[in-house]
Amino acid sequence: MSTVAMITARGLFGRRRALMLVPLPLLLIGLAALCKSFDVEPTNWGQPVIEGLGFAVVLPVIALIVGTGVLGSEIDDGTLVHILTKPLPRRDIILAKYLVAAVVTAITTMIPLYVVGLLAGSAELAAALAVAAIVGSFAYTALFVLLSLLTRRPVLLGLVYILIWEGLLGRWVSGTRVLSIEQYVITIADKIEPTTILTGQVSVTTAAVMSAVFVIVSTIVAINRLGSFSLAGETS
């Protein structure tokens, strides 16, 4: 299992691919620092930076790149065969890859959000944002790892979820927020350290329970799918 994790981490960080993870967090910190240096009130810039950029773009996009990358790129390259033919339970393969993806996403999103939290207010707010980012990372990557097993176009389907479900419907149709990880993350951050910057739209119990449901159900379904995984040619 540790070998699978190591191969996955090397696949993520090897070559230039890891550079794709750098600009988004840097932009997040840079914007917060810019506002801080102009002495703008955090209540004014907190919402667009933390919610609009941090939780609505940086967290899901990084989770999408990493989450679909750990399995999807191996399916694309055909190197997944080598791991599947080893005498390893499929459960261990999924768990190892999922943990690597979730931890990498958590680290890359937690650090910039912590810094932004410090700039926007207190260490408590920073810690709240970091915890929320970790929860979000685990939920998002679980979903995107599953998507890379369900379909040959996981990134497009993930973008449908981020852009259309969370971005468009989540804004207009309030009922869809119950199934939106972005709203869980905002609610959790708001609950740990209540500020005027963030307003949770769902109840905190819903947020906590649904995040756990996303993680557990996605992982179980993913293990099931990999159990009966068939290798086919690339789609046109």
Partner 1 sequence: MSETGVIHDIGYQRYTGPRLGRGAGIGALYVHGLRAAFGLGRSAKAKIFPWLVAGIALLVAVIIAAIKSQFPEITFSYVDLDNQLSFMIIFFSAILAPTLVSRDLRSNTLPLYFSRPLRAADYVAAKFLAMVTAVWLLLGVPQFIMFLGAAFTTKTGMKGVWHEVQDLVPAWGYSLLWALLFAGIGLLIASLTGKQAFAAGGIVAVFLMTTPVVAVLAQLPSSAANHMAGLASPITLINGVGSYLLGSKIGLDIGRYGPIFVIEAFCLIAACLLLLLARYRKVSAL
Of 64 and 186, which has the nearer Cβ to partner 1? 64
| Size (the chain), residues | 236
Rounded to a whole number of angstroms, the minimum distance from the CB of residue 136 to partner 1 is 16
Yes or no: say if 21 and 65 are a contact pair by the CB < 8 Å rule: yes
The interface region with partner 1, picked from 5-13, 34-42, 89-97, 183-191 by CB under 8 A, is 34-42
Yes or no: say if 67 and 105 are a contact pair by the CB < 8 Å rule: yes
Residue 172 binding partner 1, by CB under 8 A: no
Residue 159 binding partner 1, by CB under 8 A: yes
Yes or no: say if 74 and 100 are a contact pair by the CB < 8 Å rule: no
The b/e string for 27-61 (b: 16+ C-beta within 10 A; e otherwise) is ebbebbeebeeeeeebeebbeebbbebbbbbbbbb
Q: Which of residues 46-105 bind partner 1 (CB under 8 A)?
A: 48-49, 52-53, 56-58, 61, 64-65, 68, 72-73, 76
Yes or no: say if 154 and 144 are a contact pair by the CB < 8 Å rule: yes
Residue 39 binding partner 1, by CB under 8 A: yes
Q: Which of 27, 29, 103, 118 binds partner 1 (CB under 8 A)?
A: 27
**CA dist 116 → 27, 104, 158, 233 (Å):** 11, 19, 26, 45
Rounded to a whole number of angstroms, the minimum distance from the CB of residue 65 to partner 1 is 5
Structure tokens that stand for 6 in this block: 């190591």
Q: Which of 4, 7, 24, 142 binds partner 1 (CB under 8 A)?
A: 24
Give the separation between CA 140 and CA 58, rounded to whole angstroms. Answer: 12
- Give the footprint of partner 1 on this chain (CB under 8 A): 17, 20, 24, 27, 31, 34-35, 38-40, 44-45, 48-49, 52-53, 56-58, 61, 64-65, 68, 72-73, 76, 152-156, 159-160, 162-164, 167-168, 235-236
